[in-house]
Structure 1
Amino acid sequence: MLRISKLTDYGTLILAHMASRPERLHSATELAETLGLGVPTVSKVLKALGRHALVNSHRGASGGYALARPPQQINMAHIVDALEEQPFGLTECSAGSGLCSLETGCRIRDNWQRINGVVRRALEDVSVADMIHPHGPASSITEHRVHGPEPHPGTARLTRLDHQED
């Protein structure tokens, strides 16, 4: 099963909360209490987000954390890159070359890299602003085409998914 880590999920929650109140600084303690997370976990996530220039820390008695840029400019790929332990990749060969012993003769590598690219672009297309306003004027992640040669007959190609409102 493909799944992001809990830290990445928590990082998304933290950034979304901060984006919903951008006018103020947020302490690790306040974020932990509001989101129901442990202070050590929130501190660890904030430190990693700071290392990747997604949040700024402000020291002092009235200090705290703030987004380093507008929420529209922080996307899910930034968060994944900041908080996942491994480089993004659905397979070893998608994350980088030389990581898989079967790589040189692998006949399915190109397709895994195509799939990886689609998922990566979907992460890049969803911003923190989109996460807090999911039905707003967000960029659509459902209108991607898989780049490359035409698929074999009978093979589906991702072109557009229609959303049905409840």
Structure 2
Amino acid sequence: MRLSNLADYAVVLMSAAARHCGASLLAEGKLNAAKLATETGVPLPTAKKLVSKLTTAGLIESTRGIGGGIRLARPPSSISLADIVEAVEGPLAITSCTIDGNHDCALEGSCTVKPHWGVVNRTIRKALDDVSLASLSDAPAALKIRIMEKA
């Protein structure tokens, strides 16, 4: 199992937003996709696309116009890694048969493994749920120094 680059970049952007916004959501005011792209190295078109997806998923709030920008929709401690990944990639599913209503597998009628995939899928989901954005946004010392130099 491997995250797509887009999901990985979404985690990077959300972590940067959490470092700027903090638990109060307004500690440093609002950010924009360009600032996040510059800080993280995520290409600006990709950052804009991700901000849109994360806004649609309710993880980021976005305001247009002068004084506008983006901010986390809720505290970093209440946003999980699973929330971010699902915002970009859709429901977490180790195999297609773990998605409710999906019946596109030719082996579905005789598969003896299918009942076990749900357990695996729930275990992975729980592991991702247990990682909060707050823990991901705790920058290593070297990054903290670079961010302070840019300020």
> Would you say same fold, with TM above 0.5?
yes
Percent identity of equivalent pairs? 36
Q: Per-residue deviation at 1:87?
A: 3.0
Structure ranking higher on relative contact order (CA contacts 8 Å, 6+ apart)? 2
Q: How many residues align?
A: 132
Greater helix share, structure number:
2
**How many angstroms apart in 1 are the aligned matches of 2:65 and 2:2?**
37
Structure-to-structure mapping, 1:64-103, within 5 angstroms: 64-84=69-89, 86-96=90-100, 97-103=102-108
Question: Runs of 5+ in structure 1 lacking a partner?
Answer: 135-166
| Runs of 4+ deviating beyond 6 Å | none
Residues 11 and 85 in structure 2, CA contact (< 8 A), matched pair in contact too: no
**How many angstroms apart in 2 are the aligned matches of 1:87 and 1:78?**
9
Partner of 1:109: 114
Q: Structure 2 residue aligned with 1:127, among 129, 132, 147?
A: 132
Partner of 1:20: 19
- Does residue 48 (structure 1) correspond to residue 47 (structure 2)? The answer is no
Q: Structure 2 residue aligned with 1:32, among 13, 25, 37?
A: 37
Partner of 1:146: none
RMSD of aligned C-alpha atoms?
A: 1.5
The structure with the larger Rg is 1
Q: Per-residue deviation at 1:53?
A: 0.4
Question: Runs of 5+ in structure 2 lacking a partner?
Answer: 22-26, 140-151
Partner of 1:147: none
Structure-to-structure mapping, 1:135-146, within 5 angstroms: none
Aligned partner letter, 1:35:
T
Aligned partner letter, 1:89:
A
Q: Per-residue deviation at 1:47?
A: 0.1
